[in-house]
Amino acid sequence: MGLLDGKTAIVTGAARGIGKAIALKFASEGANIAFTDLVIDENAKNTEKEIEAFGVKAKGYASNAANFEDTANVVAQIVKDFGRVDILVNNAGITRDGLMMRMSEQQWDMVINVNLKSAFNFIHAITPVMMKQKTGSIINMASVVGVSGNAGQCNYSASKAGMIGLAKSIAKELGSRGVRANAIAPGFIITDMTAALTEEVRAEWAKQIPLRRGGTPDDVANVATFLASDLSSYVTGQVIHCCGGMNM
């Protein structure tokens, strides 16, 4: 018996990194997985196969989460293919860092659109489906910097703070319909997104983390599994920090 037996999940931006770890963990708990990414290339096809190895249904969809129409179409297709959607993880995200003085309008717009508008797009499309089912769990991938702020990341921090406000508002709007919405605030997680950082920067980060290590995608996937499952049936509108104690 898996924690997510019989449930269907959408995970955005899941060809790699945290999204992929979430998709695999959900599948290991019995969920069918529809995942999206910008392109479904060889890498994403392998992710599909790895998910299927758990004996569940899996399909990758190429879609730009920042695009409203694209998202409405892909959600309609997923509902057609899978019949229902119990879990939505808004995970797709990017960084385009820079100090405010040097940040371009394009850097700002890209990060807000991919990190925050994408979640609006998916929640907008999935709301009627979950309301009709009278059940659903929505998980927004935020970040510790959405709570604390971070110099050089005003666009990213604002988008992640937005993910928290969005989750709380949806929790209030849809709670009476049996739909929960929460956010996860990861700290420093070792993925391609953070791979570009130098050894010195990593060592500096580690010093600020009480557990003295960077997190793994699986650390975040475990929290997502709790929020997706009925173990969190009385948890909504919350932000769960998954950061080794970096932010308290």
Ligand X SMILES: NC(=O)c1ccc[n+]([C@@H]2O[C@H](COP(=O)([O-])OP(=O)(O)OC[C@H]3O[C@@H](n4cnc5c(N)ncnc54)[C@H](O)[C@@H]3O)[C@@H](O)[C@H]2O)c1
Residues near ligand X (CB under 6 A):
12-13, 15-19, 36-38, 64-66, 91-94, 114, 141, 143, 186, 188-189, 191-194
CB of 94 or CB of 112, closer to ligand X: 94
CB 90 within 8 A of CB 143: no
Check the annotation: does 6 bind a ligand.
Answer: no
Q: How far is the CB of 245 from ligand X (least distance, A)?
A: 15
Contact indicator for 131, 222 with CB cutoff of 8 Å: no
Helix (H) or strand (E) holding 29: none
> To the nearest whole angstrom, how small is the minimum distance from the Cβ of residue 178 to ligand X?
26
Name the residue nearer to ligand X (CB basis): 24 or 114.
114
User: Between 16 and 96, whose beta carbon lies closer to ligand X?
Assistant: 16
Taking the complex as a whole, the smallest distance from the CB of residue 197 to ligand X amounts, in Å, to: 9
Q: Which of 61, 122, 156, 188 is catalytic?
A: 156
* Helices and strands (H and E) in the chain: how many: 10, 7
- Burial bucket for residue 114 (CB in 10 Å: 0-12, 13-18, 19+): buried
Ligand-binding site membership of 181 (annotated): no
Q: Cα(83)–Cα(234) distance, rounded to whole angstroms?
A: 26
61 carries an active-site annotation: no
- Of the pair 38, 235, the CB lying nearest ligand X is at 38
Q: Is 221 annotated as a binding residue?
A: no
List the alpha helices (DSSP H) in 134-187. Answer: 145-148, 154-174
Which structure tokens are listed for 142? 């935020």
14 annotated to a ligand binding site: yes
**123 contacts 166 by C-beta, under 8 angstroms:** yes
Computed over its alpha carbons, how large is the radius of gyration of the chain? 17
Q: Residues forming the annotated binding site for NADP(+)?
A: 13-16, 91, 156-160, 189
Point out the residues that are catalytic: 156
Q: Residues forming the annotated binding site?
A: 13-16, 91, 156-160, 189
